[in-house]
């Protein structure tokens, strides 16, 4: 490396060889010099409403939470059905006030008789043990098959008793339906998430039985049919690429809250539109990370919400989502308080 931090070998390459640079070797360093703010703790105590810590040591998670001003963390157990109660008990023993648990829908006996009846019973058991909700993952609509081999529809009316019972029990249903728009397109030179999909070919749903639009429409019809049931649509309702459409969904379904987990990359590349969205729906969005609890990860979120910093890295898994940088939203205090904590507190209070 020379004094510019650049590899002299790369700098000396001929114009011809630059044309043939592999995309995977392209790692441009921004020459932009603009203000950078590091925010150690959020302006208001925060609740991480979407994380997965089944496999982590609770004391280590609490250490990170303390360092980063995370007052509470909601663990979405990935152990199906009542098996998740083991995680719930372990977290409750570690700290009864700082962890909550969302159960995970158990589909393993889907094609057996009385599946829905047993699912309702499992939901009852989870709620009785203290689970605040149940998550239904994207395998519904994309992979789960009915007895006849067809893909099970999200709005299959046989599932209605489950959603109705959730309302009676006072627990919510969290839906992660479909996935980013680019995951439904061919993994080719036009795909904005080409590198991510190349690294994870199994994340592609190109050619799925139901289109992304159909999946979201099926999910929305469940929202419509169960107005008394509270729903959380994870990952900005899987429509962060189209916040105008997401606004229409929210207006139509007052029983739905969003969590913004794992979508900072999408929100931060459209800071003007995203900021207007947050100001328009301050009561409908929950802070969540969906990333391994680490100081730098949480602090990246605070920088995004609280500053007007420009062109910086978004928090992400090891594999990045797309080749772009993000911009801070500089949200006002009234919005920050609700996103970080207030909206989650309301949902938690009504789920216990």
DSSP states of 213-263: HHHHHHHHHHHHH-TTS-EEEHHHHT-TT-HHHHHHHHHH-TTEEEE-TT-
Q: Residue 218 has which token pair? A: 């099926």
Choice between 225 and 317, CB closer to Zn ion: 317
Burial class (CB in 10 A: 0-12, 13-18, 19+), 251: exposed
Burial class (CB in 10 A: 0-12, 13-18, 19+), 3: exposed
Choice between 71 and 290, CB closer to Zn ion: 290
- Residue among 350, 347, 352 at smallest CA distance from 127: 352
Q: Residue 209 has which token pair? A: 């039985």
Shortest separation between residue 74's beta carbon and Zn ion, angstroms: 10
Site string for Zn ion, 245-284 (x = CB under 5 A): ----------------------------------------
Shortest separation between residue 135's beta carbon and Zn ion, angstroms: 8
Shortest separation between residue 226's beta carbon and Zn ion, angstroms: 22
Query: According to CB under 5 A, which one of 48, 290, 306, 309 is a site residue for Zn ion?
Result: 290
CA 222 to centroid of chain Cα atoms:
20
Buried b (16+ CB within 10 A) or exposed e, 321-330: bbeeebbbbe
Q: Is residue 71 near Zn ion by the rule CB under 5 A?
A: no
Shortest separation between residue 336's beta carbon and Zn ion, angstroms: 23
Phi, psi of 61 (to 5 degrees): -65, -40
Choice between 290 and 306, CB closer to Zn ion: 290
Choice between 289 and 331, CB closer to Zn ion: 289
CA distances from 77 to 25, 122, 272 (A): 37, 14, 35
Size of the site for Zn ion (CB under 5 A): 1
Choice between 39 and 134, CB closer to Zn ion: 134
DSSP states of 119-157: HHHHHHHHHHHT--EEEE-THHHHT-B-TTSSBPPTT-G
Using the contact rule CB under 5 A, the part of the chain among 31-39, 155-163, 210-218, 287-295 near Zn ion is 287-295
Burial class (CB in 10 A: 0-12, 13-18, 19+), 209: middle
Choice between 138 and 226, CB closer to Zn ion: 138
Shortest separation between residue 137's beta carbon and Zn ion, angstroms: 8
Shortest separation between residue 62's beta carbon and Zn ion, angstroms: 20
Using the contact rule CB under 5 A, the part of the chain among 62-70, 81-89, 144-152, 289-297 near Zn ion is 289-297
Choice between 259 and 337, CB closer to Zn ion: 259
Q: Strand order in 231-233's β-sheet?
A: 46-51, 70-80, 99-104, 133-136, 172-175, 231-233, 256-259, 285-286
Using the contact rule CB under 5 A, the part of the chain among 9-17, 210-218, 239-247, 285-293 near Zn ion is 285-293
E strand segments, the chain? 46-51, 70-80, 99-104, 133-136, 172-175, 231-233, 256-259, 285-286
Choice between 52 and 230, CB closer to Zn ion: 52
Question: Which residue's Cβ has the minimum distance to Zn ion?
Answer: 290
Shortest separation between residue 79's beta carbon and Zn ion, angstroms: 14
Q: What's the sign of the alpha-carbon dihedral 269, 270, 275, 280?
A: negative
Q: Is residue 196 near Zn ion by the rule CB under 5 A?
A: no
Choice between 62 and 262, CB closer to Zn ion: 262
Choice between 80 and 271, CB closer to Zn ion: 80
86-105: contacts with Zn ion (CB under 5 A): none
Shortest separation between residue 279's beta carbon and Zn ion, angstroms: 26
Which residues bind to Zn ion, rule: CB under 5 A?
A: 290
């Amino acid at each position: 490396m020379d004094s510019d931090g650049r590899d002299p070998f790369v700098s000396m390459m001929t114009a011809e060889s630059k044309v043939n640079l592999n995309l995977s070797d392209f790692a441009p360093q921004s020459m932009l010099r603009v203000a950078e703010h590091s925010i150690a703790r959020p302006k208001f105590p925060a609740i991480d409403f979407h994380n997965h810590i089944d496999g982590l040591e609770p004391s280590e998670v609490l250490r990170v939470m303390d360092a980063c001003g995370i007052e509470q963390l909601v663990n979405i157990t990935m152990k199906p059905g009542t098996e998740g109660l083991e995680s719930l008990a372990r977290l409750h023993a570690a700290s009864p006030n700082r962890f909550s648990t969302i159960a995970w829908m158990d589909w393993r006996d889907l094609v057996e008789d009385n599946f829905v009846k047993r699912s309702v019973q499992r939901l009852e058991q989870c709620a009785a043990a203290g689970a605040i909700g149940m998550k239904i993952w994207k395998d519904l609509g994309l992979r789960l098959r009915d007895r006849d081999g067809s893909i099970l529809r999200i709005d299959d009316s046989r599932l209605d008793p489950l959603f109705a019972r959730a309302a009676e029990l006072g627990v919510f249903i969290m839906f992660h339906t479909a996935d980013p728009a680019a995951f439904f397109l061919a993994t080719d030179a036009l795909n904005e998430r080409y590198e991510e999909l190349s690294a994870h070919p199994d994340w592609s749903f190109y050619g799925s039985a139901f289109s992304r639009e159909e999946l979201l429409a099926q999910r929305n019809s469940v929202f419509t049919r169960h107005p008394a049931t509270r729903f959380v649509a994870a990952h900005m309702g899987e429509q962060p690429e189209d916040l105008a459409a997401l606004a229409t969904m929210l207006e139509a379904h007052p029983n739905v809250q969003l969590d913004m987990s794992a979508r900072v990359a999408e929100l931060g590349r459209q800071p003007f539109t995203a900021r207007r969205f947050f100001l328009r729906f301050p009561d409908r969005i929950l802070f969540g990370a969906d990333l391994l609890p680490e100081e730098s990860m949480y602090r990246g979120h605070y920088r995004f919400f609280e500053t007007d910093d420009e062109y910086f890295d978004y928090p992400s898994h090891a594999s990045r989502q797309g080749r772009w940088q993000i911009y801070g939203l500089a949200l006002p205090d009234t919005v920050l308080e609700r996103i970080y904590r207030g909206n989650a507190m309301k949902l938690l209070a009504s789920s216990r």
